[in-house]
Amino acid sequence: MLRFLLLFSRQGKLRLQKWFTPVTEREKKKVIREMTLMVLARPPRSCNFLHWRDLKIVYKRYASLYFCCGLEDQDNELLTLEVLHRYVELLDKYFGNVCELDIIFNFEKAYFILDEFLMGGEILETSKTAVGIAMEEAETLQEVTPPPPPPPLTHTHGHLSLTHLPKYVNMFSVLFTDNGGVYE
C-alpha cells in the first residue's frame, strides 16, 4: 500500500498531502521536509526511485509540480509511476489542461478526485471514465449558495455608469470555473 502521497512545487511549497496511515503532525512535517529536500536535490535525468528509511520513494515531475509517494516493500515501483500518471490524467480531464494553479485554487477538488481513485493506500478504481462520472454526479448534489448581491451602481447624469462594476483584472480570472462557485 501507499503510505503517503505528496504534491509540492519546485520551491518546496506543499500543494497536497494525503496520509494513509496515522501520523503525528510533527512527523508529517518532518517527512514533508525530508521528501522535499531529497527529491528536489535529484539531478534532472535520474532514476525516479529512492530508498528512504524502510520505504521505497517514487517521484515524478509534471511541469512545476512534483508528485511523490512512499511505498511499502511489496509494492511495484514501476506500476506506481503509472498510478501517478493516471492521477494526473484524471486531474487533466476534470480541469481541462490542468496546471499548478488549478490545484492551488481548487485543492479540495483535487482531494475529491484522489478519494475516488485511491483509498487506504490502494487503487479504488481502474477505469478512466468512472472517476470523472462520479465527480460529475456528486457535483449535481452540491447545494448552490446564493450568488453575492451586485454592488450598488452610482447614477451620474442619469446614465448607468459602468465605472463601479467590479473588474477582475488579475491574471487568475481565466481559471475560475463556472460551476456556481460553491465554496467561494
Partner 1 sequence: MPAPIRLRELIRTIRTARTQAEEREMIQKECAAIRSSFREEDNTYRCRNVAKLLYMHMLGYPAHFGQLECLKLIASQKFTDKRIGYLGAMLLLDERQDVHLLMTNCIKNDLNHSTQYVQGLALCTLGCMGSSEMCRDLAGEVEKLLKTSNSYLRKKAALCAVHVIRKVPELMEMFLPATKNLLSEKNHGVLHTSVVLLTEMCERSPDMLLHFRKLVPQLVRILKNLIMSGYSPEHDVSGISDPFLQVRILRLLRILGRSDDDSSEAMNDILAQVATNTETSKNVGNAILYETVLTIMDIKSESGLRVLAINILGRFLLNNDKNIRYVALTSLLKTVQTDHNAVQRHRSTIVDCLKDLDVSIKRRAMELSFALVNGNNIRGMMKELLYFLDSCDPEFKADCASGVFLAAEKYAPSKRWHIDTIMRVLTTAGSYVRDDSVPNLIQLITNSVEMHAYTVQRLYKALLDDISQQPLVQVSSWCIGEYGDLLVSGQCEEEEPIQVTEDEVLDVLEGLLVSNLSTPVTRGYSLTAIMKLSTRFSSVNRIKKVVSIYGSSIDVELQQRAVEYNALFKKYDHMRPALLERMPIMEKTASNGPTEIMQTNGETEPSVPDTKHLPLVTQPANQANDLLDLLGGNDVMPVIQTTLPTKPASAGGELLDLLGDLSLTGGPTVVPAPAPSVPVSQPPFLLDGLSSQPLFNDTSAAIPPMTAYSKNGLKIEFTFERANPNPNIAVITIHATNTTEADMTEFVFQAAVPKTFQLQLLSPSSNIVPALNQGSVTQVIRVLNPQKQQLRMRVKLTYTHKGSPVQDLAEVNNFPPQSWQ
- Best CA proximity match to 120, nearest among 20, 31, 33, 35: 20
Closer CB to partner 1, 14 or 99, in the complex:
14
Closer of 148 and 158 to partner 1 (Cβ): 148
C-alpha dihedral (126, 129, 134, 135), degrees to nearest 10: 110
Instruction: Please say which residue, 6 or 165, places its beta carbon nearer to partner 1.
Output: 6
Closest separation between CB of residue 69 and partner 1, Å? 15
Q: Which helix (H) or strand (E) holds 60?
A: strand 55-62
> At its nearest, how many Å lie between partner 1 and the CB of residue 162?
22
Nearer to partner 1, 144 or 160 (CB): 144
Contact of 87 with 68, CB cutoff 8 Å:
no
Measured CA distances, 146 to 80, 109, 183 (Å): 42, 20, 11
CB of 182 to partner 1, least distance (A): 6
Ordered DSSP codes for 105-171: HTHHHHHHHHHHHEETTEE----HHHHHHHHHHHHHHSPPPPPPPPPPPPEETTEEP-TTS----ST
Report the nearest approach of partner 1 to the CB of residue 106 (Å).
8
Are 117 and 134 in contact, with CB atoms under 8 Å apart?
no
Q: How far is the CB of 145 from partner 1 (least distance, A)?
A: 8
Can you give the binding site for partner 1, defined by CB under 8 A? Answer: 14-17, 20, 22-24, 29, 45-51, 74, 76-79, 81-83, 86, 104-105, 107-108, 111-112, 115, 119-120, 122-130, 134, 137-138, 141-143, 145, 148, 170, 172, 176, 181-184
In the DSSP assignment, the letter for residue 64 is T
Choice between 161 and 180, CB closer to partner 1: 180
